[in-house]
Structures are given as C-alpha cells and as structure tokens.
Structure 1
C-alpha cells in the first residue's frame, strides 16, 4: 500500500516538474517574441535604394556587399536584444559602400544570449573573404566578445565585454554614447580592463543607446542630443578609419 502511494507521489512530482519546464520554456518563447523593436522604414528604404550595395536575405543573416563585388574584408554584426536586425543596415551602410561585406545576424529567439552558433556559421555567407571582424550592439556586443577569438578585430556599439580579452592582441574599437541609459559610460569604463590596452575607446557626445540603430526610443535609455544624420556620419567615420588600419592577409 505504501509503495503504491509512493509511486503516485513520485508521478505527481514528476508531472509537476514537467509542467514547470514546459511553462518556463513557453514563457521564454512568448517573451522573446513580444516587444521586438522594428526597424524604422525611412533609413532602411535609403539603404535599399543605394545602388552601390547588394542586399541578400540569406540563411546566415542579412548580407550586405559592395555591388561591384570588390570586397576583401568582412564584419559579422550581432544585433541588440529584441532589435530587428534590419535596424542596423543604415548605420553600417557607409562601411559597405567603402568595400566591407557586412553580415547582420538573426539571433535565436531575438536574443544573442541564446545563440550558440560559431562565427563560421555567419562568415560562410561570404566564403571568399579571409579577414573578418565581429561586432555587436548592447547584448549583441557581449556575444561578439565571445566570438572574437575567431576574428581579427572587434567592434562594440554601446556595449562591453564580460570575457577577458585584455591579452588577446585583438584590434578593438569601442563606441559608446554619453547619453546611453543602458550601457552607461560608467558601465563601459568599469569593463575597460577586459579589453586590450590599445583598444580605441570613443564616446560620442549626445548619443543614447538607441542611437546605434534605427528602431526608435528604448525603455530605460537616455535622451539623445545628436541627430541621426550626425550619428551615422560619426560612426561611419570611426568604422572606416578603424578598418583602414587593419592588416589584411
């Protein structure tokens, strides 16, 4: 009698645990799809209208290449949490115009934290390119730091590393914003020791967290004091200068 009662209790406990797991997984799936910040249509339309850029919606992500096919370097860029990958096409447009192939990833569940794919899963979109940098915005930047061991360079937009890359020898460009309410200047500075000593650290005056993409205001962020045009021009200047100094194979 006691054995039967014990088995019933065990079944109840096991079914209860299964229900908790199912509800937890279901909750994460629902949460990851709710509140995704879409790309603003006007900046994206400008990119699509750029005859110098070829855009492919590929399995590896959004692949932007110079239309003339003259590209010998690449950047894999990881979006911030719950941000439409297309929201970064415009701010990276100038880099492509200058000859760099850009692959903007689509993180699993819209969260880079859950995306465990290696860098080669994205660089396969342009197999002829040997020299790759990796970068990302916000949580995407944290993920990019994890992928940096397989890249030649690292680019951070309003982000910082959780991994120690201080002795990696990587070329690093970290761009932050003075008005960023999420990856605040204090947080960026607190993680500075995790980057190489010669990492290029640039704080853009007036830039907020959402200034690094075209997806509108973001909860918890500061108020930007820089226009989209000026922000894109400044980021483009920094990126082109950084990539121009990278050695090629």
Structure 2
C-alpha cells in the first residue's frame, strides 16, 4: 500500500506545473529543479507583466504587497524581484536552465522530503507519540541583527587594514530563530521509543540563538565564536524519569 502511494505521488511531481514558492516550502525532491535566481527573475518578471500562468504567483504578490487592480510600476516589480534575487522565494521548473548550487543556499539544507512525510504518515499514523525535534527553518532577526552589525562596524573601524566581516567578532550579538518540528523516529531509532518524550507529531518549538564568544573545548584557545545555545539538526528528548 505504501509503495502505491509513493508511485502516485511521484507521478504528481512529474506532471506538476512550474511554480514560485517561499524557501521554506521547497521540497527536498525539488532541489534539482530550483532555477537560478538570474533566470528565475526573468520568469517572474514576465509573469507579473504579462499575467502568464505561474503557480504560487498570487501568494508571491501578497508577500510583496503588490498593489492589486492597477498596472505595476517598475519600482513595484524591482522590489518584488529582490525576494527572488536574495533567495527568499524560488522558482521550481520542470526543466530549469541553470539549477542552483544548493551549497550556496544554507536555508535549503533543511528542506523536508515529501517522500519521508508519506512514509512516516503510513507507518506511524498516531496523532502523538515518541519522536525527535528536527530543524525545518532558521530565520535571522533582521532588525536586531542589523543594529548589532552596525554597532560592530563602528567598533571595527579601529582595526586598521582589516576587512569588516572577516572575523567572528564582527557578527557579535546577532540573533536568529531556530524552528524545530516533532517528527516520528526513523526505523533505526525505534529502540529509543521507550525512553522518548511524547508529543503531538507536527508540534513546533522555537529557540532564539545569539552569536557570541563562548567556551569551546575543541578550540585551541578554549573559546570560539558560535551560536548559543547550541542546537543540533536533530535532537532527542527523554521522557521524565527515563533515567
């Protein structure tokens, strides 16, 4: 039964239309079909000007606060395309001209797999149960981090001959929000089920991290610049009284 579900889903992927979506809505299976922002901007520009079909365009327009009911100004279009240029929105195409190099877009590292979701729902239909916390997005606090970077830039001007952003201290006190989702345990992790905490699958928790200089046992000096508190990609939670 699971295999039939996967086969059907695979056919849906093959027949799906080109679409535009926010970075957090890109599936792992689509990574090879994400168009390079240079070409993606041309696709989006044409869709906005000529009102051509592009799935997800209405959501994109809402995200950009594009004025409805009147022709778009050049300034409106350029403002909207900035979201594509910055890698905050992506165009998924059946035949991309130049697929992106995912290594240049760290946010896509946590792209969820639609296949894994199907398998998890088929194997573990319980509303709640044992599992683990898995990162699905990391968002920079732009206002707070912008102020921190500005202050750091002023301070760094006393370091003659040094390029700003070349050292960890230039990013001191910047802030970001890590979001984790409670997901079922993998097949090779089922032995941990009896020790695991119980949460509703799909529950989300968020952790604020600050970039600071702190103790680091692996660093020669005993300290390094890194995000605190440390949050692993996947994190197990023990139920009370497990030990």
Q: Which has the higher contact order (CA 8 A, sep 6+)?
A: 2
State the TM-score, normalizing by the size of structure 1.
0.24
Larger radius of gyration: 2
TM-score (normalised: structure 2): 0.24
